[in-house]
């Protein structure tokens, strides 16, 4: 019998279908692992510690245990009444469910190990005998132990929970962490319930009918055995028994026929269900792609519940009238996941996530022509393993899969048109792709030499390659084109990656996924920011969402309903009291700088979870990136990263969106343009930090507060009755240099750069009269003068008009806009590509099991790595020892001869004694 059959038979042997359906109705997830865990949990003697990161087992246990005869107690671990409730439950034999276990403290060890003692008189009158009552120590308290009735279940939401070695043998650790197959079945059930609810109803009815038939068959067998056991006399003469046997046989045949018919119907239902298997498999792959992101950053942790909400929203929001509904659902799911997860990532990791997502789901067309069944009902991978391995520079695997070609044999095949800096790359590339990409592109044919030579010299090869492939019908895929850019023009690989991702994910630009309007567009949704949703802002230097949150609260509930607390060493009790008050009144509360008090975060969240919250209650958290932030909070919160948007254009849009609309309501054109130029200046100095050390010598911490203070100050200056046009520029430039931006700059050359910007941007030459009378020295530092020259010509000076003006700017940074040489961005782009490839290697290692996906796997993985690294040394040592033994056997005769000589000459010559002593030492060595 196969292993899978045995596994399934054990489950059905231990738990009947009726019990399984009962568990499902009580909230147990409908997949194999959940039923197996429930079976082990209820039928083993050891106390279970349940790893339940998605809160799947908690609700089922509450419903299941609550229906029993014994009273059920549910309590938070470490709460104020925790120890007292535990003692009472042990004494009176209650069922105790302990939630949110972070670690098991030593005072619980005797209970979990069942280290009982006997107190009371025994049969011989001696205290402590075998008939005394059982007691157990809980801390320093001795409590009567009701062994027969007491049941204990511990639940932790920490997927990386580890038991101590002394305790692991006495506690049954049961993990509800989802598996790929389990999640696929769960998603399939969800999809079927939404798309074909009648099919799911038929399946349940069929299971109930099948279980009823089996019960009837068992009853017939039991009745027959009973009649045979109670029969008297000869069996052949017992007509009643024979008639009963005949009736039982007929009924048994009918039941078996009905069961066979049910199996046929079940097979037909499974065929209909398999139509949606593709979507379920896609969803499972996507979730595990997301779950591997925490290997890049501890803050990138996401719960299964939030992912299932995305899937459910996708099912509800996709139009039923779509042409190919399954393909549309797949496309919309990928787009929705990318949009939602990207807002929780730092901009430097968005490209990595996009490439990892594309590889995981097999997307390989401009508008998602993917996931059609091929042979053996397997999905066709769009990016081959050889191509992917070569892309992430895993050349050893690439060469191993390339038909064993010797790179030395291809030295003479490098065409003369290949640039000198790409010849080595071409040699290695031709080893792996000589019969595919090289052949399809006809790179070894002389008539195409000039074409490829001209392409390698063009300024934008990633765009020219598309035209070249279409014109000559080379038939290479988009990813193969990416490999060509990587081989010949690494300086353009960064931009080629962006273009490739945009084509595959059907988005206009990666910049469109930036969080420039995240608070106003993302948080305003009541479905995602309700009383039970914690919003966590992950902040960086120069990006603080506090003011934006205040503006949002002012426009929504009023500032008097927003409570802000900056966390510190003495703020815990004050914080907990403020949370309780806010929950009662339905206010908003924002806790800042949680990275300073990470040990308290779990206590804060437990307090929030235990409260009855009014409808208007909202909890907002801010923290900087830290590896000590609790994983449970990260997984169960809506995360938004706060950092300057990528690119000057997006940065400027963000800056203008932060400026109050009232500041642009004036009819004073000079004032409005000046305020706009403050946003331009802020974006310039922010974005120049990406060109360190060419833009600035170091990365200065300019923040959104700088822009807010500058615009507020300028607004009041222009509105003041004492406003003087003759001195306004001097005052403004002095404040910007000496009070706002200048104090953060500690390098003379950087301060000089800021001074030149101020002189250009805030002068009558640009703003008032519209004339560009700048000196040649100033022109060296002019950022985007070709665009600023059009600024004074606009008639509409409203905020909306300025936003339209920003839209004409290029999406990608141009060094000329910052007064830098054209090659300034090459170093930064090359560094970004190297980081992306390094991160992709790490993600691939996690996905393939070559790196720890969580802390629980780190110890086992380290042991495997040690074994792998030490094995060659151990093998060599074993070989040497074997050879040494052989040498000793071969030289034994010689040693006997030397020993006999020494004995004969020992009394004759002291020289012989010395030689014998040295030889003896050499033998031992």
Give the DSSP letter string of 425-488.
Answer: HHHHHHHHHTTTHHHHHTTTSGGGHHHHHHHHHSS-HHHHHHHHHHHHT----HHHHHHHHHHH
Provide mean pLDDT across the span 172-200. Answer: 85
Confidence (pLDDT) at 431: 86
Is the pLDDT reported for residue 897 higher than 80? no
Peptide linkage before 430 cis (omega within 30 of 0): no
- How confident is the model at residue 899, as a pLDDT? 59
The Cα 175–Cα 157 span in angstroms is 10
Give the three-state DSSP class for 362.
coil
Vertex 908: Cα angle to 904 and 911 (nearest 5): 100
| Residue 485 confidence (pLDDT) above 70 | yes
Give yes or no for residue 355 having a pLDDT over 90: yes
Question: What's the pLDDT score for residue 353?
Answer: 95
Indicate if the pLDDT at residue 367 is higher than 50.
no
Q: Once rounded to an integer, what is the mean pLDDT over residues 589-612?
A: 89
Please report, rounded to a whole number, the percentage of residues in the chain having pLDDT higher than 70: 81
Looking at every residue in the chain, the average pLDDT score rounds to: 80
- Mean pLDDT (whole number) for 558-569: 89
- Quote the tokens at residue 723: 């406003």
Cα separation, 476 vs 429, whole angstroms: 15
Lowest mean pLDDT among 78-82, 456-460, 884-888, 902-906: 902-906
Let me know how long the chain is. 925
Whether the per-residue pLDDT at 770 is higher than 50: the answer is: no
Residue pair 31/123 in contact by the 8 Å Cβ criterion: no
Which pair of tokens denotes residue 587?
Answer: 């206010």
Residue among 769, 794, 758, 774 at smallest CA distance from 681: 758
Cβ neighbours, 10 Å, residue 456: 16
pLDDT digits (tens, 9 = 90+) for 521-557: 555 554 455 667 889 999 987 778 888 888 888 888 8
CA distance 145 to 149: 9
DSSP sequence for 65-121? HHTSSS-EEEEETT-TTHHHHHHHHHHHT-EEEEE------GGGHHHHHT--EEESB
Indicate the pLDDT class of residue 377, thresholds 50, 70 and 90.
Answer: very low
pLDDT, position 408: 46
More confident residue, 410 or 732: 732
Give the pLDDT band (50/70/90) at residue 263. confident
Q: Is the pLDDT of residue 558 over 60?
A: yes
pLDDT value at residue 808: 82
Distance CA 698, CA 535 (A): 32
Provide mean pLDDT across the span 217-232: 75
DSSP-derived 3-state class of residue 47: strand
Q: To 10 degrees, the CA torsion angle through 332, 853, 873, 875? A: -70
Query: Within 10 A of 735 (CB to CB), how many other CB atoms are there?
Result: 17
CA 74 to CA 101: how far, in whole Å?
Answer: 13
Show Cβ contacts of residue 276 under 8 Å, excluding neighbours closer than 6 positions: 188, 191, 192, 195, 326
Residue 887: pLDDT band with limits 50, 70, 90? low
pLDDT of 782 over the 70 cut = no
Asked whether residue 406 carries a pLDDT value surpassing 60, the answer given is no
- Residue 513, pLDDT score: 46
Give residues with Cβ within 8 angstroms of 699, minimum separation 6: 689, 692
- Rounded Cα distance between 622 and 549, Å, is 11
Tell me the pLDDT tens digit for each residue of 319-342: 766 557 888 888 889 989 998 899
Integer Cα distance of 822 and 757 in angstroms: 19
Task: Tell me: pLDDT of 300 over 90.
Answer: yes
pLDDT one-digit tens code per residue, 784-798 = 666 776 666 666 778
Please report which confidence band the pLDDT of residue 560 belongs to, taking 50, 70 and 90 as the band edges: very high
pTM score above 0.85? no
What is the reported pLDDT for 394?
52
Which of 76-85, 230-239, 254-263, 576-585 has maximum average pLDDT?
576-585
In terms of pLDDT, which residue wins out, 252 or 804? Answer: 804
Q: Are 798 and 676 in contact (CB under 8 A)?
A: no
Question: In this predicted structure, which of 720-734, 788-802, 819-833 has the lowest mean pLDDT?
Answer: 788-802
Distances in Å between the Cα of 224 and the Cα atoms of 212, 215, 229 are 18, 14, 9
């Amino acid at each position: 019998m196969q292993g899978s059959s045995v596994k399934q038979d054990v489950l059905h042997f231990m738990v009947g279908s009726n019990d399984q359906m009962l568990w499902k109705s009580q909230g147990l997830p409908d997949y194999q692992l959940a039923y197996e865990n429930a079976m082990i949990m209820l039928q083993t003697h050891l106390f279970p510690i349940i790893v339940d990161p998605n809160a799947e087992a908690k609700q089922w246990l509450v419903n299941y245990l609550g229906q029993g005869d014994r009273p059920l107690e549910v309590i938070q671990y470490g709460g104020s009444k925790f120890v007292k409730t535990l003692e009472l439950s042990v004494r009176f034999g209650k069922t105790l469910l302990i939630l949110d276990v972070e670690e098991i403290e030593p005072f619980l060890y005797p209970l979990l190990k069942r280290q009982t003692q006997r107190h009371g008189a025994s049969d011989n009158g001696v205290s402590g005998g075998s008939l005394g009552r059982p007691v157990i120590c809980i801390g320093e308290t001795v409590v009567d132990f009701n062994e027969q009735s007491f049941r204990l279940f511990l639940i932790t939401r920490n997927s990386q929970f580890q038991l101590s070695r002394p305790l692991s043998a006495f506690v049954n650790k049961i993990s509800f962490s989802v598996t790929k197959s389990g999640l696929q079945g769960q998603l399939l059930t969800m999809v079927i319930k939404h798309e074909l609810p009648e099919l799911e109803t038929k399946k349940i009815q069929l299971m109930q009918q099948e279980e009823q038939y089996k019960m009837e068959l068992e009853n017939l067998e039991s009745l027959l055995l009973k009649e045979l056991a109670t029969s008297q006399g000869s069996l052949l003469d017992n007509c009643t028994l024979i008639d009963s046997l005949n009736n039982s046989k007929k009924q048994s045949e009918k039941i078996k026929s009905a069961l066979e018919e049910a199996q046929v119907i079940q097979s037909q239902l499974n065929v209909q269900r398999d139509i949606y298997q593709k979507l379920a498999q896609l969803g499972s792959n996507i979730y595990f792609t997301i779950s591997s992101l925490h290997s890049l950053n501890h803050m990138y942790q996401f719960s299964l519940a939030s992912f299932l909400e995305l899937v459910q929203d996708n099912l509800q929001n996709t139009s039923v009238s779509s042409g190919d509904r399954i393909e549309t659902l797949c496309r919309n799911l990928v787009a929705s996941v990318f949009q939602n997860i990207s807002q929780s990532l730092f901009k430097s990791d968005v490209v990595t996530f996009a490439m990892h997502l594309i590889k995981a789901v097999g997307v390989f067309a401009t508008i998602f022509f993917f996931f059609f069944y091929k042979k053996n009902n397997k999905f066709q991978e769009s990016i081959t393993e050889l191509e992917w391995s070569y892309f992430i520079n895993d050349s050893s695997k690439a060469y191993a899969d390339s038909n064993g070609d010797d790179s030395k044999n291809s030295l003479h095949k490098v065409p003369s048109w290949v640039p000198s800096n790409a010849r080595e790359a071409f040699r290695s590339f031709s080893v792996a792709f000589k019969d595919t990409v090289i052949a399809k592109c006809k790179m070894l044919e002389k008539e195409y030499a000039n074409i490829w030579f001209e392409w390698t010299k063009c300024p934008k090869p990633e765009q020219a390659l598309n035209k070249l492939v279409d014109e000559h019908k080379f038939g290479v895929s988009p990813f193969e084109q990416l490999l060509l850019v990587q081989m010949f023009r690494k300086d353009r690989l960064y931009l080629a990656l962006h273009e490739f991702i945009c084509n595959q994910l059907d988005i206009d630009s990666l910049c469109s996924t930036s969080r420039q309007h995240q608070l106003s567009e993302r948080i305003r949704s009541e479905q995602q920011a309700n009383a039970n949703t914690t919003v966590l802002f992950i902040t960086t230097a120069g990006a603080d969402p506090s003011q934006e949150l205040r503006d949002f609260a002012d426009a929504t509930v009023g500032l008097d309903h927003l409570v802000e607390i900056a966390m510190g060493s003495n703020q815990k009790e004050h914080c907990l009291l403020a949370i309780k008050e806010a929950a009662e009144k339905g206010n908003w509360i924002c806790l800042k700088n949680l990275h300073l008090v990470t040990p308290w975060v779990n206590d804060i969240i437990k307090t929030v979870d235990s409260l009855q919250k009014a409808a208007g209650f909202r909890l907002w958290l801010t923290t900087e990136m830290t590896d000590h932030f609790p994983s449970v909070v990260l997984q169960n919160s809506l995360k938004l990263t706060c950092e300057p948007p990528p690119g000057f254009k997006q940065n400027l849009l963000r800056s203008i969106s932060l400026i109050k609309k009232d500041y642009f309501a004036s009819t004073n054109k000079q004032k409005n343009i000046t305020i706009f130029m403050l946003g331009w200046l802020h974006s310039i100095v922010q974005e120049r930090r990406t060109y360190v050390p060419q833009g600035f010598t170091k990365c200065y911490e300019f923040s959104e507060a700088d822009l807010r203070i500058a615009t507020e100050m300028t607004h009041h200056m222009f509105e003041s009755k004492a406003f003087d046009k003759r001195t306004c520029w001097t005052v403004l430039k002095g404040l910007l240099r000496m009070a706002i931006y200048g104090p953060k700059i500690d390098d003379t050359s950087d301060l000089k750069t800021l001074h030149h910007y101020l002189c250009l941007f805030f002068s009558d030459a640009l703003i008032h009269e519209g004339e560009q009378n700048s000196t040649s020295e100033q022109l060296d530092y002019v950022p985007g003068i070709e665009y600023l020259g059009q600024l004074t010509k606009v008639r509409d000076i409203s905020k909306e008009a300025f936003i339209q003006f920003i839209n004409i700017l290029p999406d990608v940074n141009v060094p000329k806009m910052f007064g830098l040489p054209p090659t300034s961005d090459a170093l930064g782009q090359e560094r970004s590509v190297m980081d992306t490839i390094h991160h992709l290697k790490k993600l691939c290692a996690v996905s393939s099991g070559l790196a720890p996906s969580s802390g629980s796997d780190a110890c086992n993985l380290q042991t495997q790595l040690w074994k792998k690294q030490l094995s060659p040394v151990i093998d060599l040592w074993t070989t040497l020892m074997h050879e040494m033994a052989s040498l000793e056997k071969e030289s034994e005769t010689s040693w006997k001869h030397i020993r006999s000589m020494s004995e004969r000459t020992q009394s004759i010559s002291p020289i012989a004694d010395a030689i014998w002593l040295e030889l003896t030492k050499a033998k031992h060595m």
